[in-house]
């Protein structure tokens, strides 16, 4: 990420909206914004495959052959930025489930995958697909479900200004696609 170019353009943006760049509160703002963007958009530097490799620590699951079971992690908190308005997507909760096939992911890795995939300019719908793809690759399974609930400041702070609106998206792959019983495991309570 080119932080110098970001700072340069933030200066131009501040000037274009009529701000005084010499005002005490704004003197270091371009550089602060550049550092913030490097942090909150860190996922931009990685492909889904690279994230799967980065957080793909698995453990053998010897019980998989004898019985089928599901791993479910709920209420993973993330935030992201809408690629249409660069607006914050907030109060986001991610529920993830997958059917292990011989190995299981470390539980913290599931949350880390969600967090890193969200650190991109995103659409909530794509975020669910990205998380499902990364979890599937990292865990070695085609059976993944991702349900996301979130608020979008492009709807709550501007435009329609509907502050109570929540968006819920679902991504189901493999056995989750048509199995309503499995789908209920990842729904919000």
Q: What are the residue numbers of the active site?
A: 82-85, 124, 152, 154
Question: For residue 34, what are the contacts with CB-CB under 8 A and spacing of at least 6?
Answer: 3, 4, 6, 7, 10
Please give the Cα distance from 41 to 44 (Å, whole number). Answer: 6
With beta carbons less than 8 A apart as the criterion, state whether 64 and 84 touch. no
Q: Single out the residue of 13, 19, 185 nearest to residue 97, CA to CA.
A: 185
Helical spans, DSSP H, in the chain: 3-16, 29-40, 48-54, 107-118, 124-139, 153-156, 180-184
Please give the Cα distance from 5 to 3 (Å, whole number). Answer: 5
């Amino acid at each position: 990420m080119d932080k110098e170019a970001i700072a340069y353009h933030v200066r131009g943006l501040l000037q274009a909206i009529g701000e005084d760049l010499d005002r005490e509160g704004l003197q270091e703002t371009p550089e602060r914004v550049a550092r913030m963007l490097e942090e909150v958009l860190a996922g931009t530097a990685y492909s889904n495959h690279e994230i799967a490799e980065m957080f793909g620590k698995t453990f053998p699951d010897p019980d998989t052959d004898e019985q089928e079971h599901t791993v479910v992690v709920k209420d993973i908190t993330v935030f992201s930025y809408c690629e249409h308005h660069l607006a914050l997507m907030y109060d986001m909760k991610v529920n993830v489930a997958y059917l292990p096939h011989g190995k299981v992911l470390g539980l913290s890795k599931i949350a880390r995958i969600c967090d890193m995939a969200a650190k991109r300019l995103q659409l909530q719908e794509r975020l669910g697909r990205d998380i499902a793809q990364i979890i599937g690759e990292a865990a070695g399974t085609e059976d993944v479900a991702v349900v996301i609930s979130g608020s979008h400041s492009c709807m709550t702070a501007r435009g329609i200004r509907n502050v109570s609106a929540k968006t819920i998206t679902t991504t189901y792959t493999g056995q989750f696609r048509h199995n309503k019983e499995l789908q209920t495991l990842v729904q919000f309570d």
